[in-house]
Amino acid sequence: MRIPGVDVRFAIIRIASTAALFTAWEWYGSQPGQFALPPPSKVFPALVESIVDGGLVQAAIGTLWVGAVGFSIAAVLGVTLGLVIANVSWADNTLTPLVNAAYAAPITMLVPIIGIYTGLGFTGKVTLVVLFAFFVILINTEAGVRQVREDLVETARSFEASRIQIARHVMLPSTMPFILNGLRLGVGRAVRGAIVAELLLLVSNLGLFLIRAGATFNMPRLMAGIFFTMLMGYAVMWFAGYLERRSLRWRGEATY
């Protein structure tokens, strides 16, 4: 049988692999004395229960809100500063090494002192999210401006295009995919930043759900929380990817 766009053999292997994992997990989890890894038959009811009683959904919304506020700030700052650094040579020479070092450094190490400067409330959490998402957006924006083809700019200039016309019709279309890629990666980091903030900085929302389940050794609930975090990450990244592709439709071809 042939379904257009779907490789049947491929799909069968994938389903078989998933089924095998779940069977093995169910078998292992049901062993007497097995406590730390409960089987799927206990995890999924716990997941449904946590969603139905509203706790998990509300927690996720709270976490995503922190992420969204921080991401918006990081996006504005990151794109702006990226454009400046890419266009001003002395800013590039002096700031790029610092930005690269900060991009590679673990932001989490600031968690114990961030409260001193922002307080431990909402501001603190948002600040952490901004720090998580900011650098990847900046670096991608900068890379985008840098790869604009010099010959296209030259051609536009020789046809007496104004600076604004060059920016609008030459620079922007070729920089945009890079900025959007940076923003998409920034979304992923913002979600991680929000979860870190709610686990380590001020225990709340999803962080509270996970910690409470772990502290009471309610393993099905803990696994359900992790599973939900995964689904949430998947949904958010899918949505970000969808927005990215949609915004690039005018290019006539998919970048990914």
Partner 1 sequence: MVDARALSQTRRGASASALGTAGRLWRYKWIQRGVVWGIIVVAWQTFGLIRGPFYFPTFTDTILGFVRLVVEGDLIVMAASLQQLLVGFALAVVIGIPVGLILGGSRSGEAVLGHYINAWYVTSKEALLPLMIILLGVGFEYRVGIVFAFSALYVIVNVATGMRDVSPSLIETARSFGASRRQVIVKIALPSVVPFMFAGIRLGYGFAIKGMVIAELWVLGGTGGLLADLALQRELDRYFAIALIIALVGVAGSSIIRTLERHITPWGAGAMRTTERRAV
State the residues that interact with partner 1 by CB under 8 A: 7, 9-11, 13-14, 17-18, 21, 36-37, 90, 93-95, 97, 100-102, 104-113, 116, 136, 139-140, 143, 185, 188, 191-192, 195-196, 199-200, 206, 210-211, 213-215, 217, 219, 222-223, 225-226, 229-230, 233-234, 237, 256
Nearer to partner 1, 77 or 95 (CB): 95
As given in the structure block, the two tokens for residue 10 are: 């491929």
Q: Which of 55, 228, 201 is nearest to 122 (CA)?
A: 201
Specify whether the backbone of 5 is left (phi greater than 0), alpha (psi in -120 to 50) or beta.
Answer: left
CB 241 → partner 1: shortest distance, Å?
A: 8
Nearer to partner 1, 166 or 186 (CB): 186
Q: Which of 95, 171, 175, 93 is nearest to 135 (CA)?
A: 95
CB 162 → partner 1: shortest distance, Å?
A: 27
Nearer to partner 1, 112 or 121 (CB): 112
Q: Tell me the residue length of the chain.
A: 256
- The CA distance from 87 to 153, in Å, is 14
CB 157 → partner 1: shortest distance, Å?
A: 23
CB 146 → partner 1: shortest distance, Å?
A: 11
Structural contact between residues 206 and 225, judged by C-beta atoms closer than 8 angstroms: yes
Structural contact between residues 138 and 85, judged by C-beta atoms closer than 8 angstroms: yes
Nearer to partner 1, 35 or 159 (CB): 35
